């Protein structure tokens, strides 16, 4: 069985690295990499409840993230391995916080948004060599998906998120020329 430390060991490794070859040998069955188009691909281990995300960089595939699924998701079985400190995919949000302490970051409100996509509640714990994010079921009773990522990818995402929020909160400046171009012609006020 593939363990959480096995998943952590392949982050930021190339697809032909010893750690990834060892990881692949632990899978329940052999699979081929699924190219998503462009420079992205996945390595879906559906029976194990694991999906590896890769990007083609410098003439090799680099492992960016590993997803562990908590239930039937796009044909994936539930990941049956232990997470950390006896936790499993069936652990609740409150149990994870009790065992792991305060998360580094948190979000999601459980609402159903555009196109029926659920904004799942989530918590993320940042470690030196990886970040571990848990997206919960809407009621927080169990883990929907766990995502292991490289810390630098998480930092880059956070920087983009903060910048986009700042942009949304900054009022637009209207120059006199723009104001004049959208103002009604003189004499038409009140008509």
Q: Would you say residue 52 has pLDDT above 80?
A: yes
Place of tokens 């899978």: 27
Task: Report in angstroms the alpha-carbon separations of 19 from 8, 14, 25, 177.
Answer: 10, 9, 10, 61
Domain annotation covers residue 189: no
The tens digit of pLDDT for each residue in 37-48 reads 778 899 999 999
How far CA 50 is from CA of 27, 111, 116, 152, in Å, comes to 9, 26, 24, 22
Residue with tokens 């459980």: 110
Q: Is residue 191 situated within a structural domain?
A: no
Mean of pLDDT values over 19-37:
85
User: Any idea which of 64-68, 126-130, 155-159, 161-165 has the lowest mean pLDDT?
Assistant: 161-165
Q: Is residue 188 assigned to a domain?
A: no
Task: Record the tokens describing residue 17, joined without a space.
Answer: 């690295």
DSSP tag of 45: E
Judged against a pLDDT cut of 50, whether residue 182 lies above it is answered with no
For residue 60, pLDDT over 50 is answered with yes
105 is a domain residue: yes
Residue 18 counted as domain residue: yes
pLDDT in tens, 63-105: 999 999 998 777 899 999 999 899 999 999 999 999 999 999 8
> What percent of the chain shows pLDDT beyond 90?
49
Range of the domain at 67: 4-182
pTM above 0.85, yes or no: no
Q: Is residue 39 part of a domain?
A: yes
At residue 170 the predicted structure's pLDDT band, cuts being 50, 70 and 90, is low
190: alpha, beta or left? (left if phi > 0; alpha if psi -120 to 50) = left
Mean pLDDT of 179-191: 51
The proportion of the chain whose per-residue pLDDT surpasses 70, expressed as a percent, equals 80
What domain count does the chain have? 1
pLDDT, greater one: 30 or 3: 3
Residue with tokens 């909160």: 169
Alpha helical stretches, state H, the chain: 4-10, 18-25, 93-100, 151-169, 176-182
Task: Give the per-residue pLDDT at 18.
Answer: 93
Q: Is residue 173 situated within a structural domain?
A: yes
Residue 95 within a domain: yes
pLDDT-based confidence at residue 191 (cuts at 50, 70, 90):
very low
């Amino acid at each position: 069985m593939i363990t959480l430390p096995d998943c952590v060991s392949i982050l930021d490794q190339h697809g032909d690295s010893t750690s990834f070859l060892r990881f692949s040998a632990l899978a329940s069955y052999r699979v081929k990499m699924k190219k998503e188009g462009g420079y992205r691909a996945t390595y879906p281990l559906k029976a194990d409840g694991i999906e590896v995300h890769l990007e083609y960089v410098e003439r090799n595939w680099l492992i960016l993230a590993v997803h562990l699924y908590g239930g039937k998701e796009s044909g994936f079985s539930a990941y049956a391995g232990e997470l950390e400190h006896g936790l499993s995919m069936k652990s609740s949000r409150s149990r994870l916080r009790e065992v792991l302490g305060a998360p580094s970051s948190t979000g999601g409100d459980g609402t159903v948004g555009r196109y029926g996509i659920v904004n799942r509640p989530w918590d993320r714990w940042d470690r030196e060599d990886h970040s571990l994010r848990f997206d919960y079921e809407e009621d927080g009773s169990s883990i929907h998906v766990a995502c292991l990522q490289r810390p630098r990818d998480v930092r880059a995402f956070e920087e983009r998120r903060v910048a986009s929020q700042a942009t949304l909160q900054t009022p637009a400046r209207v120059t006199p020329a723009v104001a004049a171009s959208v103002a009604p012609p003189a004499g038409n006020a009140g008509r």
